[in-house]
Structure 1
Amino acid sequence: MVAAKKSARKTSQDGQTGAKKVAAKKSTADEPSTPVSTARTAAPADPGDLAVRTGEDPWTAEEAEEARDALTAEADRLRAEITASEEALTGLMRDSGDGAGDDQADTGTKNVTREHEMALASNAREMLYQTERALQRLEAGTYGLCENCGQPIGKARMQVFPRATLCVDCKQKQERRF
């Protein structure tokens, strides 16, 4: 206890506020944020090198190509959906300016419709981001690795939900936190 008091007295204090000077913590910006980020990032991965769980068959070239094609088609569909939503929003925004003479119910309906279109566009953008990340991970050879723990997600899970970034255990833990 006495040693702690002595060390506290030795620290310099600001004369006006009495605040102690504290050394800043080392930045972790240069350190990898997840176990997966340090994984191989060279040329496109050999399908047999993609992560699988114990007891699962390795990815074949056909299965990897199927996943790539499905993700590419999904990305194209989402881009078209985003374009359509943005066009609808442009029309709604243009129409909302000439609401003179509308009653409150008409104005409310327009607002709800506009907010609904904005939510759809936002959701489509998020799904497009996830899909593009999955394509990047497929090319980098990190497809199928959990971004939290670095363990294989599982081939079956990846085939059902190709945008998955977490294994079942980590996903359940994440959902319990929210």
Structure 2
Amino acid sequence: MPGARTAAPGELAVRPGEDPWTPEEVAGARTELMEEAQRLRDEIHLSEDSVAGLMRDSGDGAGDDQADTGTKNITREHELALAANAREMLVQTERALERLDAGTYGLCENCGNPIGKARMQAFPRATLCVDCKQKQERRY
């Protein structure tokens, strides 16, 4: 991301009692997020190719019985759902990289408190602290 300001280690939010982020940990988080973004882009591309192939092969359905047609529809819907899920995860991953560059990585987007270094290391796309995430899940 040209022109993006990279947050210095120690600037990233941590909870009381946690050690500050080290340069190696910040680099590791960045690498993990970048690799995940590329994996998701590849997955989206494969799913889109698969759907295009299924659409091409569906033709007029001549010679297909209802079971064949139903199987093709289910397979196409499954591929579309996988691609949609991968796109959503890619958005979250790119957002985490932006937050890392902005120095807001590890801050809860709801209450502004630190999410916690351990939580961010376990789930690098986290945008909510545990308390806010639990409140959100209770609403749904």
Shorter-chain TM-score category? over 0.9
Structure 2 residues not aligned, in runs of 5+:
none
**1:105 lines up with 2:62 in the alignment:** no
Equivalent position amino acid for 2:81 in 1? A
Equivalent position amino acid for 2:22 in 1? T
Structure ID, larger Rg: 1
Aligned alpha-carbon RMSD (Å): 0.9
Structure 1 residues not aligned, in runs of 5+:
1-41
Q: What percent identity do the matched residue pairs reach?
A: 78
Structure 2 length-normalised TM: 0.96
My pick for the range that moved more, 43-52 or 121-130, is 43-52
**Alignment length (residue pairs):** 137
1:167 to 124, 129, 136: 129
1:111-168 Cα distance to aligned partner (Å, 9 max, x none):
0000000000000000000000000000000000000000000000000000000000
Query: What is aligned with 1:6?
Result: none
1:74 to 36, 57, 63: 36
- What are the equivalent positions in structure 2 for 1:35-74 lying under 5 Å apart? 43-74=5-36
Q: CA deviation at 1:98?
A: 3.2
Structure 1 length-normalised TM: 0.75
Q: Determine the C-alpha separation between the residues in 2 that align with 1:161 and 1:144.
A: 11
Q: Determine the C-alpha separation between the residues in 2 that align with 1:63 and 1:79.
A: 24
- Bigger relative contact order (CA 8 A; separation at least 6): 2
Q: CA deviation at 1:58?
A: 0.4
The runs of at least 4 aligned residues of structure 1 exceeding 6 Å deviation read none
Q: CA deviation at 1:47?
A: 1.4
Equivalent position amino acid for 1:95 in 2? D
